[in-house]
């Protein structure tokens, strides 16, 4: 097992990816190369940056975590667009939004712990 696989934030991010793939399955097919693809890539980027960054030194890992958090923010923007286009209901939006917020906080806490 790789060390990053033990990180709770990594495990939560994997669950988030599964959530996003599930949510976007019901979206209009004309969004397959647009919003769906972008959302899935952004969610996946959260996980991938945690994994890749963990193989680096503290400074680089912190940079990868910053990119991971940026991908969370991107997901929030996509969620808002999807809600405005009525691709998702308010409840679904709220659940995914809260998960983004939780991930961003967890990533920030991990970044902070690197230098304690």
The full DSSP string for 20-85 is: HHHHHTTS-GGGTTTHHHHHHHHHHHHHHHHHHHTTS-HHHHHHHHHHHHHHHHHHHHHHHHHHHT
User: What are the structural domains, with CATH classification, of the chain?
Assistant: 13-114 (1.20.1440.60)
pLDDT tens-place string over residues 61-101: 999 999 999 999 999 999 999 999 999 999 999 999 999 99
pLDDT tens-place string over residues 16-55: 999 999 999 999 999 999 999 999 999 999 999 999 999 9
pTM, two decimals, is 0.95
């Amino acid at each position: 097992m790789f060390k990053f696989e033990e990180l709770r934030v990594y495990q939560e991010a994997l669950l988030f990816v599964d959530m996003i793939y599930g949510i976007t399955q019901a979206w209009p097919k004309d969004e397959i190369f647009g919003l769906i693809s972008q959302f899935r890539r952004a969610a996946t980027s959260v996980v991938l940056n945690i994994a890749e960054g963990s193989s680096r030194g503290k400074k680089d890992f912190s940079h990868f975590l910053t990119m991971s958090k940026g991908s969370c923010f991107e997901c929030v923007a996509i969620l808002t667009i999807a809600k405005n286009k009525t691709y998702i209901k308010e409840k679904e939006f709220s659940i995914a939004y809260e998960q983004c917020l939780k991930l961003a906080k967890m990533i920030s806490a991990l970044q902070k712990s690197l230098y304690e």
